[in-house]
Amino acid sequence: MPDSIPSCLDIQTKGGQNIVTCRYQTKLADHCRMVTVTWCKSAMEQGLCVSVDEPSDQSMCKIALKPWYYWRKKQGSRCFKVNGTKVQVFWNLISAKFINSPEPQEGYYVAVVCEKEVILLLGDMKEEALKKTKARISVIQPVLISREEHGFGRRYFSTRTRMHEIESQPHAINIECHTTGPKDPEMSIKIDGQLVVEVQHLLWKFRGNQIISVSGVQVQIFWDVYDWLFNSGVGNAFFTFKPISSSEKSKSIAEDASSNDKLDSCTDPSRSSDYCVLLQLSGGLLVL
């Protein structure tokens, strides 16, 4: 098997396919890089893709988890290169538990290793990952920049995610949209079972935003359900959850910052305030 995997899983939104994409900012080979981890699930298979964004290229590897694969296919390692530097991806998904999401909740690890340092470690089996990789944890911790979900559920959608990059526990998000029936269309959003957004007369308020408080942090919610209402339900609905920090209100970063400044942002998570949660729900009658 070649070290370099030339193609990634098809992560375009398809019928019946759910996708979770997480983007992390970390240090790789003395440069600040963006590492993207994408989880996919359809009726026929599950998959994982790890990629590193390069100014001139994008290096990546894919891991297919078809149900008829032997258990040994659910763990292993692969390599690819980023600007000539070797990057290894180790994974163990044998005991992974998936709950209504292509991303496992527990019983797994995914580790990205470069120059004998673990630059990104996902999952709850960290000790096992360190023994397998024989690498040390990088002193620069990765920062979760954004989380994007593509799900199918025209009427109801449920997921769990963090609202801020420094949170340790995820929050439960439930979105329910009533677009048919004798009443005017309406929508509700609940976080951890608490109603935080209720939109009536959705025909007039198909786009909007509202600021709420989650665990003491202000979060601005944006929504756009126009296609659900006016495109026969076959389009996409978009939801964005963006934390509002005090530093974000006052910061002003020049776009032509030097490369040293960009590298410093990897060591100072407070300077990375681009974190947000993006949800894209596609039309269909499947209830998750």
> Based on the domain organization, do 133 and 48 belong to the same domain?
yes
Residues 6+ apart with CB under 8 A from 246: none
Note the pLDDT of residue 67.
56
> Based on the domain organization, do 127 and 169 belong to the same domain?
no
How far apart, in whole angstroms, are the C-alpha atoms of residue 98 and residue 77? Answer: 21
Which amino acid makes up residue 88? Q
Q: Indicate whether 10 belongs to any domain.
A: no
> Based on the domain organization, do 104 and 175 belong to the same domain?
no
Query: How many structural domains does the chain have?
Result: 2
Mean pLDDT across 158-184: 76
Mean pLDDT across 168-177: 84
Confidence of residue 58 (pLDDT cuts 50, 70, 90): low
> Based on the domain organization, do 66 and 127 belong to the same domain?
yes
Q: Indicate whether 263 belongs to any domain.
A: no
Mean pLDDT across 206-235: 85
Note the pLDDT of residue 6.
26
Confidence of residue 227 (pLDDT cuts 50, 70, 90): confident
Q: Name the least confident of 102-111, 172-181, 203-212.
A: 172-181
Q: Indicate whether 1 belongs to any domain.
A: no
Note the pLDDT of residue 2.
31
SS3 19: strand
Note the pLDDT of residue 1.
31
**pLDDT tens-digit profile of 114-163?**
999 999 999 999 999 999 999 999 988 898 888 888 766 556 788 888 77
Tell me the CATH number at 238. 2.40.128
Q: Indicate whether 146 belongs to any domain.
A: no
